[in-house]
Structure 1
Amino acid sequence: MVNELDGASRSGMEGLMNRIYLDNHASTEVDPRVAQAMAEAGFGNPHSDHAVGWEAAAKIDEARAGIAMLIGANHEEIIFTSGATEANNLAILGMRRKAAEGRNKIIRSAIEHKSVIAACDHLRAEWGFEITVLPVSSEGMVDLDALEAALDERTALCTVGFVNNEIGTIQDVRSIGRLCRDASVPLHTDAVQAPLAADISDLARWCDLISLSSHKMHGPMGVGALFIAGDIQHAIAPIMFGGGQQSSLRPGTLPLQLCVGMGTAAQLCLKNEVWRNNITQTRDAFLDELRALGMQFHLNGPEPGPFRHPGNANISFPGIEADELIGLLQPQLAASSGSACTAGTIEPSYVLTALGLPTDQVRSAVRFGFAMKMDPAKAREAALLVSDAAERCT
């Protein structure tokens, strides 16, 4: 029986390896070096007061330092979470104490991740906060004039995602940060997609809160982190309560192996120019092959360059429904639709709608996300699969 199961497992893995995975904005493959570090992490409760616990705590601190180095922060400013959704919630809901000081307004962009939008909506519904939504350009860039006009003495927080997960837009966080600093308003950025997209080694200089996710940068699922600048940690109200771990900002026993994995992944991303160049070449090979095959398409978001994630290709195919195309690509190729399913209903992407795109262009949008471990030849093969599937669409 063991041999039969092993054989089935090998067969399944081989089938998986033969597929082309282009959904790296949703999740990335764990790097072998990360997996090795996790396997060697050992065990023990890092909060226990004995030798095993001390060793585990030291490894947690090392992982925390690796993440801090990635964004130019101090290790004391890194709070581990279960992922970016929790990190976003802690950053935004943590500002609810500000209402007592007369700061009851949150500013966000129109294209934030759903966890950011939902947290803002909760502050409005439960705590009476006012939410100001910033418009974006046809490329997804935040209107800086609108931001400057919205910032005032009632603003508790501004939250703008650094790299958009659908269209790959890279915001001018430095300019946004300057405006917020001038207005004495903390800036939060969801930087989940940033480690593979840009050099973020000085991001903590411009932001007061930064959300990160391990599995978006070749680390394990189930762990994330929130950078909270030391000078505002006292102002953050926790959203969980328990044993007082992590300065009571996020209590609970830390998962040793997951934290070590995220710390290792952060170190691999620290000097990622080679990664970014490789990802750019692969993405561009995919687009060039689509053109060579005579496919008509529109690239949504910014043009390839410094303001677009090097691995992002959000593409609308005229006359084709995205969900049908993705279905025809199964199981050979994994990509994501530009639409979102809420309560069983398919709705147009609010991100693409915010760009001012017509409905048919929104409904035909497919997000292809590139990361490491794919060469241009494989990307060209993916383009051929897309072309073949498009010809079969009704």
Structure 2
Amino acid sequence: MKLKTAKKTLNVIYNQDARNILDTIDSNTKVTTTITSPPYYDMKDYDSDNQVGYGQTYEEYLNDLKSIFAGVFEITEQNGTLWIIIDTFKRNNQVITLPFDLSNKLKEIGWLLQDVIIWKKDKTVPWSTNGFMQRKFEYILFFSKTANYKSNKDSVRVYDTSQLKKWWIKYPERYNPKGKALDEVWEFPIPTQGSWGEEYIRHFCPLPQNMVATMIQISTDENDNILDPFAGSGTVLSQSAYMKRNYIGFELNKNYISMFKEYLEKTFSKYRKEYELVIQNKDQGDFENRILNLRSLKFARVLIANIEKNIDFKNFKIFVVPKKASNIKHKLLKVEYQIIGQVDETIFTDEAKKIINKAPLSKFGIEPIFKFIEAKKFNHKNHFGYTKTNTYSYVKNSDLDSPKIRVISKICVDLNENDYL
């Protein structure tokens, strides 16, 4: 008796109509996220019979898309998501708001619109010049299946200090320790036709690799399943493979499928190595540690300035003990501040409570613990001194007992803001 071979449903691109998703994908296969750019209504013939968009009325087109994304909804994990790259167009001398018309259709299915992102792409497709202004952006609609959806937004935060304003040095409380969040305008240029030489797939409107990688990073983890029901040149599928995700694609044009397979074979080794290198060398933790160190030190400096302004305590120093995680909600870390000098503990504590419970110190995410010591000796090799005006660069070759040194710690920070202009 011949055994029945299980149908492959992962890491495959089907030469099938996306309207047949539920008949094609195994019922046990679930998708974590779908990333796609549907056909541009009737503006481009993709050389396939019975295709979605070309040759249809607008209502037929919308209804077909609704049916397709209803199928996608059914096979999506409960914490799954959907990304749709789509644009408006002009008909009869007016703009047709396709992104919003489609969004309303998808809400009827149950998809929850979470974000509308502007993709600033710099280049345009031929029909976008019908108006008197050049069209250099498209919409990215981001949906979730439920309110509790997978989101790795911290993993795509901007923590490259060369891309941040120099304020992160003097004002670390303004920056999330994991980096600056993405905004709702994304700048990714459309790949230039032929710019990747023999590796490049020719397609009417290819998606930027880095933009797709960003979506994948936000919405999935390694080994998750990613779907593109309008695979086209296969950018979503190939990027999924590079980033150790499983892919499922649908594409009616056999030439695109052949080009995708050839492209993936040529590029897989190169871009998988690039992905692994980025993951291994990710220094987000270093940025987070630096921001928290800057906050810990600045907290002491601001506290000193306010205490001296409000009460007659002079020349005391604060020794900052390296941080620990805080268990208090909305607090990032617990820091011990040792108050060194002859101060009244009760008066200091009462005044400090008033100061730390209002801005700016209330915004630092620090749970302070105060201890009072009349005198303390410091090892000049292991301790670093800061002034009342600067806690982002320690004072070199200075006596830690000097009156100008007000904050002392084993935390060593030596940053020059001019290096980050």
TM superposition score normalised by structure 1: 0.25
- The structure in which a higher percent of residues are strand is 2
TM superposition score normalised by structure 2: 0.24
Indicate the structure whose relative CO is greater, using CA pairs within 8 Å and at least 6 residues apart.
1
- The structure in which a higher percent of residues are helix is 1
User: Rg bigger for which structure?
Assistant: 2
